[in-house]
A and B are shown apart, each in its own frame.
Chain A
Amino acid sequence: MPVVETDSVVIRFSGDSGDGMQLTGSQFTDTAAFLGNDLSTFPEFPAEIRAPIGTTAGVSGFQVHFGSKKIYTPGDEYDVLVAMNAAALKVDLPKLKKGGIVIANTAGFDKKNLNLAGYKDAVNPLEDGTLEGYQLHKIDVTRFTKDCLEGSGLGTKDIDRSKNMFVLGLLFWMFDEPMEYTVAFINEKFAKKPEIADANIKTLKAGWNFGDHTEMFANRFRVSPAQMEKGVYRNISGNQATAIGLIAAAELSGMPLFLGSYPITPASDVLHELSKHKSANVKTFQAEDEIAAICAAIGASYAGGLGVTTTSGPGMSLKAEAMGLATMLEIPLVIVDIQRGGPSTGLPTKTEQSDLLMAMYGRHGEAPLPVIAASSPADCFYTVFEAGRIAIEHMTPVICLTDGYIANGTEPWKFPAASELKAIKAEFTVAPNGEDGIFYPYRRDENLVRPMVKPGTPGLTHRIGGLEKQNETGNVSYDAKNHEVMSQLRAAKIEKIADDMPPIKPDTGEETGELVVLGWGSTAGAIKTAVRELRAEGKDVAHVHLRYINPFPKNLGELLKGYKHILIPEMNNGQLVNLIRAKYLLPAEGFSKIQGLPFTMAELKNKILEVLNNN
């Protein structure tokens, strides 16, 4: 059978929540990564844990984009759609490429499933011409799995659960990838249930053999290894990267990590991950609510640790008052907001960038805080590490923004050695800082940073609190002028953080030109891909991407002035664009998407072309 070389492929595994699509997708991903492909993934699941079986509400999808070239997004459209039932086809068909491959489990297209999926009069889309123009492969995966496991002694339920392995085996065959990695995984996962392990492996191989022996497929595909930088890689999701970034910041500063958190989608995985790492001297505290979570973190920081709280939008709202306290106290604190669709419960499992203005301004009083944002799953590591550095070295709470898209998405990561990470300067004051032998808790250094003191240090007992501080002494002061001085000092301290920052440069393209696409956060991959393609087509476009949003890099205004047009795509109703226009008085144009979904490359390309052509 001929094998066709291709440089990148997008596969969408789609099925019912209980069909094991996340596992199937991640196993395929790990194997592709192991073979040296670059890749990006996008798991998408319903908000309900077990939505009614067979309905469109219960569809769970896992998208993987892998290639022999650099991959920055999970892909706009898929080349292959695996649809385990009618609902999955209904939900995901719109984004299958014209001429793309559909692998449909026919057992999921019986009358009952068609009705549940809302196909009118149970008309089967596999039969009625709906899929004309696509390469349709109808396979009764459920029956083949049953046949394959007949006599295995397993119950119907366990047999049915193995059917995702049939699909995985078939996909491995289609893309000429070995099964060894998954076989090892299954043996490890079901070490205590060898009969389940055997059933899964048997089904996996049956899927492979089905591809190999039937003449259903005209050819196979091969995606050669990508030109990746040499080194050791791992696969990482944004939430994993956030967790280990926090561990790294604690280790490199010598301040023990304390996470105060309350479960919330999509942030809970950071709590789960960190709670596994007790042997790294990590303390995790599942608090009674979001408020207690941040307050406990403030307490831990006050006692000399690196206090961290992780949450998502609704939790951020609840933490706002405590952020005001931490701003007043001027103590280190990292607040990670893994954004989701809002307001209110909104779209808990979908992504959005709509908490930016809340991060900037969502506190009572004048309470400026540093705000930084991660741009990819692996970048969550560096961004949260940087948040820890700023928090400790500048004695301030720091808000670190990620979102559901990169939190759950994964990519290969050439992780650093611990020795390559820059130490964080954590200096505890142990002696009075006044000439008179008196300790002044709010006397500042050249960066306007006040001393950090651990309770337990002799000779430095002092009180801090939420009431306005007298400059230097930190005593309670209601003096009018002092309040203005202190408000301005707190603001100037945050502004000074920009002194440490490297000047910002275009990620892609020139430092001047016709149009710059200015992005922040998780839109990086889609913007980069779109801008690179347009530049290859000869367009004068550049891409600048922000990690630091408050304060902005010092040269940002100058850089932006070098372009005729500024386009700011955001997964919100236009938030960064307001900040840029207000700060630099530049006529930046926003481009909003508020669908709970990331931008596609095509959407961005079209918009950029529209701006270029209309001007």
Chain B
Amino acid sequence: MMSDTAVQAATEKLTAKDFASNQEVKWCPGCGDYSILKQVQTVFPDFGIPKENVVFISGIGCAARFTYYMDTYGMHSIHGRAGAIASGVKAMNPELSVWVVSGDGDALSIGGNHFIHLMRRNFDLNYLVFNNQIYGLTKGQYSPTSEKGKVAKSTPFGSIEVPFNPSEIALGAKSTFVARSQDRDPKHMQMVLKRAHEHKGTSFVEIYQNCPVFNDGTFFAYSEKESKKEQSLYVEHGKPFIFGANEDKGIKLDGHVPVIVDLTAPGASVNDLWIHDEKDKTKANILARFFDETFDGVSFPRPFGVFYTEDRPVYEGEMQAQVQEQIARKGKASLDKILAGDKTWTIL
């Protein structure tokens, strides 16, 4: 389904360069954010939206500087609140293509409350979380997505907290689009960004992003050649779950319990595998939990792709509909009538 914001095609096709602002990009050398910026600027021309109709809203953190580097409208706001600000933007002008850029701390710690409510309301906007599992801008404290035991500036003896799994929260908060990608897989990220844009509703995209300074290599198992095929699972609607160096492993469901299948074993068949269905929320919940050793201590590959999508009316549409319905029912209220209220009297 195409987003409403895309209806007005630009007369001349824009290029990635047209979306780059004149500001010098100031992330650390080797930061995963560079790749994300590049993929966003690469896919935007394909959306066919005039750049003045695009608004980026960010909070605080390394990721939040993103806004300054896009030649669109944008607001670099305050820590954790980007989703709330974006809600007001979209409510006031549903025609804008709104993109929230956030990090793991911004979205899930200080902005956690706004995050869950944004998901359930389902404004037609896109929410990107650059997850590097660390606080970068404040120089290296553990984040709500850092693994238990994480040694960081504020946890010299290891973090004693269990991390959030962002996809699980998004699903629990009734998000209508949940996906994951990673900075070191440009093509996949471009695909996911396009899907997010096309989805009408709040599109939640978690992007694993390497922080070379404070948390280097934390996702390399999923992105580097040596381990990627064994450790990550790329899901696609209608396709079976297959992974492994030689595509020799699959995942099937035994009741509600996922099981890893050795496809080379006698009697093993691709036909028995779990076929990905983006519309199945129950299965999406299980898939999102391929995160820690939840299922009998078995370690599953980390999934990437679109986990779940749902068609649900968007908030700004319902809001506008109530206004229109009241105007249709009563006529546009005149200010004089509102000033007078229900009951008046006259002093002669």
A 455-474 to B, binary, CB cutoff 8 A, 1 in contact else 0: 11111111111110000000
CB of A524 within 8 A of chain B? no
Residues in B whose Cβ lies below 8 Å from that of A322: 78, 81
A457 pairs with B339, CB closer than 8 A = no
* Complex partner residue of B91 from A34, A228, A283, A416, CB under 8 angstroms: A283
B346 pairs with A288, CB closer than 8 A = no
* Complex partner residue of B330 from A279, A302, A414, A457, CB under 8 angstroms: A279
CB of A297 within 8 A of chain B? yes
Docked pose: A418 CA to B339 CA in angstroms: 8
For the complex formed, measure the closest distance between the CB of A459 and the CB atoms of chain B, giving whole angstroms: 7
* Complex partner residue of A295 from B21, B55, B85, CB under 8 angstroms: B85
Binding-face segment, A240-248, A263-271, A355-363, A395-403: A240-248
* Complex partner residue of A466 from B78, B92, B331, CB under 8 angstroms: B78
* Complex partner residue of B338 from A228, A277, A283, A475, CB under 8 angstroms: A277
B 17-31 to A, binary, CB cutoff 8 A, 1 in contact else 0: 000010100000000
CB of B129 within 8 A of chain A? no
Binding-face segment, A210-218, A230-238, A599-607: A230-238
B52 pairs with A240, CB closer than 8 A = no
A 42-74 to B, binary, CB cutoff 8 A, 1 in contact else 0: 000000000000000000000000000000000
How many positions in chain B have a CB within 8 Å of any CB in the partner chain?
Answer: 61
CB of B344 within 8 A of chain A? yes
Within 8 A of B (CB), among A453-508: 454-467, 475-476
Docked pose: A415 CA to B341 CA in angstroms: 10
Residues in B whose Cβ lies below 8 Å from that of A232: 340, 344-347
B89 pairs with A302, CB closer than 8 A = yes
Docked pose: A457 CA to B96 CA in angstroms: 11
Docked pose: A36 CA to B346 CA in angstroms: 8
Docked pose: A225 CA to B343 CA in angstroms: 18
B50 pairs with A229, CB closer than 8 A = no
CB of A298 within 8 A of chain B? yes
Residues in B whose Cβ lies below 8 Å from that of A467: 76
For the complex formed, measure the closest distance between the CB of A194 and the CB atoms of chain B, giving whole angstroms: 21
CB of B246 within 8 A of chain A? no
B113 pairs with A234, CB closer than 8 A = no
A 250-277 to B, binary, CB cutoff 8 A, 1 in contact else 0: 0100001010100000000000000001
B341 pairs with A236, CB closer than 8 A = yes
Binding-face segment, A11-19, A303-311, A337-345: A303-311
A464 pairs with B52, CB closer than 8 A = no
* Complex partner residue of A418 from B57, B84, B117, B336, CB under 8 angstroms: B336
CB of A299 within 8 A of chain B? yes
Specify the chain B residue showing the minimal Cβ separation from A228. Answer: B347
B88 pairs with A302, CB closer than 8 A = yes
A280 pairs with B76, CB closer than 8 A = no
A464 pairs with B93, CB closer than 8 A = no
Docked pose: A234 CA to B339 CA in angstroms: 9
Q: A281-B327, A292-B84 are in contact. Are A303 and B92 (CB under 8 A)?
A: yes
* Complex partner residue of A289 from B50, B92, B113, CB under 8 angstroms: B113
A285 pairs with B52, CB closer than 8 A = no
CB of B109 within 8 A of chain A? no
For the complex formed, measure the closest distance between the CB of A241 and the CB atoms of chain B, giving whole angstroms: 10
Specify the chain A residue showing the minimal Cβ separation from B23. Answer: A475
Taking each of B85, B322, B327, which has the highest tally of chain A beta carbons within 10 Å of its own beta carbon? Answer: B85
Q: A244-B338, A415-B340 are in contact. Are A279 and B333 (CB under 8 A)?
A: yes
Residues in A whose Cβ lies below 8 Å from that of B345: 33-34, 36, 232-234
B81 pairs with A291, CB closer than 8 A = yes
* Complex partner residue of A283 from B84, B92, B339, B348, CB under 8 angstroms: B92
A283 pairs with B75, CB closer than 8 A = no
Residues in B whose Cβ lies below 8 Å from that of A283: 91-92, 319, 323
CB of A4 within 8 A of chain B? no
Docked pose: A33 CA to B96 CA in angstroms: 49
B76 pairs with A465, CB closer than 8 A = yes
For the complex formed, measure the closest distance between the CB of B274 and the CB atoms of chain A, giving whole angstroms: 35
Docked pose: A591 CA to B78 CA in angstroms: 40
Residues in B whose Cβ lies below 8 Å from that of A329: 75
Docked pose: A466 CA to B78 CA in angstroms: 7
Residues in A whose Cβ lies below 8 Å from that of B117: 287-288, 292
Docked pose: A416 CA to B340 CA in angstroms: 9
Residues in B whose Cβ lies below 8 Å from that of A464: 74-76
CB of A157 within 8 A of chain B? no
B93 pairs with A235, CB closer than 8 A = no
Q: A232-B346, A285-B91, A463-B21 are in contact. Are A299 and B57 (CB under 8 A)?
A: yes
Specify the chain B residue showing the minimal Cβ separation from A287. Answer: B84
Docked pose: A321 CA to B95 CA in angstroms: 29
A455 pairs with B76, CB closer than 8 A = no
CB of B174 within 8 A of chain A? no
Residues in A whose Cβ lies below 8 Å from that of B51: 461
CB of A544 within 8 A of chain B? no
Within 8 A of A (CB), among B45-103: 50-53, 55-57, 60, 67-68, 70-78, 81, 84-93, 95-96
CB of B257 within 8 A of chain A? no
A 410-434 to B, binary, CB cutoff 8 A, 1 in contact else 0: 0000111110000000000000000
B347 pairs with A303, CB closer than 8 A = no
Q: A279-B331, A280-B333, A299-B86 are in contact. Are A465 and B92 (CB under 8 A)?
A: no
B 318-329 to A, binary, CB cutoff 8 A, 1 in contact else 0: 010011011101
CB of B114 within 8 A of chain A? yes
Docked pose: A321 CA to B81 CA in angstroms: 10
B96 pairs with A455, CB closer than 8 A = yes
CB of B1 within 8 A of chain A? no
Given contacts A258-B88, A307-B88, 5 further A-B pairs with CB under 8 A are A282-B323, A301-B92, A321-B78, A415-B340, A465-B77
Query: What 3 A-B pairs come out closest when comparing CB atoms?
Result: A299-B88, A465-B76, A295-B84
A-B contact pairs, 12 of them (CB 8 A): A236-B341, A247-B335, A258-B91, A281-B332, A289-B113, A291-B114, A296-B85, A296-B88, A298-B88, A300-B92, A302-B88, A465-B68
